[in-house]
């Protein structure tokens, strides 16, 4: 995998098959083609080519990892606390890939916020004082 600093936005990090539990009454597992990028997870069903997209800014965490002989079960929790259940074959490790991509995304956002705050602070300190502000300072 290429360094995140070298990646362009939306570049594919991983692609492959995983299963999503449906929201229907029977909660069937449906196969999806997953495309993981540095800022989202896109899910394509076999019958249509339009993707459902889970953007990382709307995901809190990847949770509830359970291993069986055949599958790894995990849940993506969104910012509005909706839980979306997935499973993948044990050797595919989709849960780890999504978790690492989410952490990387959150770290990049934190660094951008810190830089933005530092830049705004430096700008405010560089502004010349008005005569009223100079008169109030000791």
In a domain, 129, yes or no: no
In a domain, 7, yes or no: no
Minimal CA–CA distance to 75: which of 67, 57, 87?
87
Q: Evaluate whether residue 82 is within a structural domain.
A: yes
Q: Is residue 75 part of a domain?
A: yes
Model pTM score: 0.77
CATH code at position 57: 2.30.29.30
pLDDT in tens, 47-101: 667 889 999 999 999 998 899 999 999 999 999 999 999 999 988 999 999 999 9
How many domains is the chain partitioned into structurally?
A: 1
Q: Which domain holds residue 106?
A: 12-123
């Amino acid at each position: 995998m290429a360094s995140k600093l070298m990646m362009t936005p939306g570049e594919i990090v991983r692609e492959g098959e995983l299963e999503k539990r449906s929201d229907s009454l029977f909660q069937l597992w449906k196969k999806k083609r997953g495309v993981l990028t540095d800022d989202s997870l896109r899910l394509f069903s076999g019958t249509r080519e339009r993707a459902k997209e889970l953007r990382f800014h709307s995901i809190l965490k990847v949770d509830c990892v359970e291993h069986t002989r055949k599958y790894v079960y995990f849940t993506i929790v969104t910012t509005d606390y909706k839980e979306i259940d997935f499973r993948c074959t044990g050797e595919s490790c989709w849960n780890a890939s999504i978790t690492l991509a989410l952490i990387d995304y959150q770290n990049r956002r934190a660094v951008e916020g810190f830089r933005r705050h530092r830049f705004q602070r430096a700008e405010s300190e560089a502004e010349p004082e008005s005569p009223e502000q100079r008169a109030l300072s000791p």
